[in-house]
Amino acid sequence: MVTRIFIDADACPVKDETYRVAGRHKLVTYVVSNSWMRLPNSPLIEQVTVSDGFDAADDWIAENCGAKDIVITNDIPLADRCLKSGSLVLRPDGKNFSNASIGMKLAMRDLNSYLRDIGEISGHNAAFGKKDRSRFLNALENAVQKMKKI
């Protein structure tokens, strides 16, 4: 089985970096989103446009990824589903989701959602910077190398 890369693309800031690494290793990359996107012209990059249904992109990725695949997402429930299928899951900041940490991440997501709902905290994400992009490139390269050894 050959490694493939799946990008949860609607809000992904590292699509171009992914294309570069995937191209260097001749890996097919699925760019999954709810709307059409302009993509580089490459036989290794495949656009998958799903319906506007809630979690349609997540459902497509979770149903199609498997062992030896790499999934790029910030979505914690999607990461959980992909880990269960044997995929390696990276966040765009280069940090990875793991079977050991996903339970705590799901619990914290639910707690933060509740605290936002009752007005105890306001939600905002940290700015995405050059260090995050660099860490992602390094993590993706390491993930591809790891999958080649399996």
Q: What is the pLDDT of residue 115?
A: 81
pLDDT-above-70 percentage for the chain: 98
* Secondary structure of residue 25 in the 3-state scheme: helix
Q: Binning pLDDT at 50, 70 and 90, where does residue 123 land?
A: low
Where do the domains of the chain lie?
5-149
Average pLDDT over all residues of the chain: 92
Reported pTM: 0.90
CATH topology of domain 5-149: Rossmann fold (3.40.50)
pLDDT at 82 (0 to 100): 98
CA-based radius of gyration for the chain = 15
Closest CA to 90 of 60, 119, 121, 132: 132
What is the reported pLDDT for 86?
95
Structure tokens belonging to residue 113: 């959602």
Asked whether the predicted pLDDT for residue 93 surpasses 90, the reply is yes
For residue 93, the one-letter residue type is D
